Structure 1
Amino acid sequence: MSKAEFNAVRDLMKLTKDRTDAAYAVLVNGAGLKAVADQYGWTRQAVNGAVNSAMRARDKYRAAQEIEQNEIKALLPEGWDLVSMAAPVDLIEKFRISVSRRRSSK
Structure 2
Amino acid sequence: MTPMLYVSLLLNVAVLIPVCLGLARGARWADEAWGPPSPARGILLSIYAAILILSVLLLLLGQPLLAAPLLAVQILYKLMAPFIVRDWRNPVILSNLAIAAVHCVTLAGLWSGLRL
- TM-score, scaled relative to structure 2: 0.30
Which has the bigger relative contact order, CA under 8 A and spacing at least 6?
2
Which one has a larger percent helix, Structure 1 or Structure 2?
2
Greater radius of gyration (CA): 1
TM-score (norm 1): 0.32
